Amino acid sequence: MEKRGQYSGPLPRASPAGGISGELFGPIVGVLGKLLRFLGIIIIIAIVFVVFFVGTRYFLFKQQTGELASTVTHATVAGEEALNPVQRALKANAPGLYYIIYPENYNPYAIDSTVEYTEATKDLGVKIKEFHLSGNRRFFNLDEDIELEAKIDAGAFPDSSYDLEVFCLLDDAKIPQVPARLFGPNANGNKGTIAKGLSTQFIVNCNFPGGITIKNPTPELREVAKEAKLIVTYNFKTKAYARMWFLNKAALFDFQTRSIDPFKQYGINDPLLDSDKNAVPKQTPGPINLGLNIPFPQPFTTAEYKLFVKLSRTLGEGNLQTLEYLSIKVPSVTNLIIVLKGEEGYTSQAGRCDFEFIGEEGGYKEYKLVNNKLTETNRDCGKQTLKELALTETDCISIFKEPVFNCDFAVTRVPETRLQSDIITSEAQYTMKVQKKTVATVRILPQQPLVA
């Protein structure tokens, strides 16, 4: 018997998702779930594609380069090319991976262009703007201290600071060479420092105590003119590099017989190759141009070649005074072997090399300039040398201060397939010399005794 108020029929079903709202939004939630699952699948596919793309490029690059140490060990950061946002992000956060994917953009010193003496670079280095008798005097009296003044503009280099040192010379002075006195920021005695990126000006004072000595006096002598020099020296270091590409001889011959450009075949556009496929070297900014030249079209193969290393000035003032060292580094890895004249593996009896092996590190063999060439380069172009060799100062500078060194080398192993790239680097530490001349006039009073 049914009790009053008690319902024994079927219970009503609850509305999904909580009543009426569940009935309205339930289908939407279902669609969103399917959409999210679809997007998840797309993202997974994209990740797989990127991994596959990078992995494929990595594998192909390893085939091209024979797993060169230059891939990551040699790679720091650099590049001349204009990058898209993805490339910029990859280069900033994973430079090693970036240069695996884009090996033709590898630049070990982050150099954009070789420094040339142009309107844009004319203020680099040291320039002597003025050099004259102090106070604009026209003469000094005999036995009087002789003072000269100068103004030096020291242009800053964008990547390096440097120090300078200043001396004064006066013919027949009782003290013929004296250290100058510098006035200006970062000056101490006759030395000054120029911070990178911050050009500086110095005021210079030269004092020759006691004046000059008259070597050949005559009763009629009343005036003599003596040459004065202001000499500024400063140390600097320049680095340079050139990229080389290598290919198996049989593969290269096959391309040549079919008139196929290997670089186009492999899709490589290297900004460090000219239209003839010769290497375009790059260097850090500085007063000396450190030129690397391998005058052969690339790619190289198992054959003999010649490397030239030339030092020449890039600025309007100054010349090389002393070369402290000059070195070159060539790659030394499993699938690429380069030997220089004089090394084991170089079979030709002909040729020469001005560099000698000093060690191996980080996938490179390092060589330094041989001592006799270093001594020759550091020969003084003073009066004694000019007299001994019957040279003008211009000729002496051209011969000894703008030298060309060369080295024959042989490539004895390259990878079996595809192109391989690496770099040859060079570094020079040296002292530059800038000088300016003027005339110091000394007058002799009628009753003044002359000092013989």
Residue 359 and residue 357: Cα distance in Å, rounded?
6
Query: pLDDT tens string for the chain (452 positions)?
Result: 444 334 344 444 444 444 555 555 566 666 677 777 777 788 888 787 766 665 655 544 444 333 333 333 333 222 333 445 566 566 555 655 655 566 555 555 443 334 444 454 556 789 999 999 998 889 998 888 999 999 999 988 877 889 999 999 999 989 999 999 999 989 999 999 999 888 899 999 999 999 888 877 777 778 889 999 999 999 999 999 999 999 999 999 999 999 999 999 888 888 888 889 999 898 888 888 899 999 999 999 999 999 999 999 887 788 999 999 999 999 988 888 999 998 888 888 888 999 999 999 888 999 999 999 999 999 988 888 888 899 898 899 888 999 999 999 999 999 887 888 899 999 999 999 999 999 999 888 776 665 54
Nearest to 355 by CA among 311, 397, 325: 325
Residue 233 and residue 317: Cα distance in Å, rounded?
12
What secondary structure letter does DSSP report for 378?
Answer: T
**SS3 of residue 410 by DSSP:** strand
Look at residue 449 in the predicted model and tell me its pLDDT: 60
Nearest to 307 by CA among 138, 424, 433: 424
Torsion of the alpha carbons at 432, 235, 200 and 196, rounded to the nearest 10: 130
Predicted model pTM: 0.71
Look at residue 409 in the predicted model and tell me its pLDDT: 94
Give all domains of the chain, ordered by start, each with its CATH number. Answer: 19-105 (no CATH), 125-234+437-443 (2.60.40), 236-429 (no CATH)
CA angle, corner 169, sides to 165 and 171, nearest 5? 170
Look at residue 113 in the predicted model and tell me its pLDDT: 38
328, exposed or middle or buried, with CB in 10 Å at 0-12, 13-18, 19+?
A: buried
- The DSSP line for 321-365 is EEEEEEEEEEE-BTTBEEEETTSTT---SS--BSEEEEEEETTEE
Residue 289 and residue 282: Cα distance in Å, rounded?
10
Look at residue 103 in the predicted model and tell me its pLDDT: 57
Residue 243 and residue 246: Cα distance in Å, rounded?
10
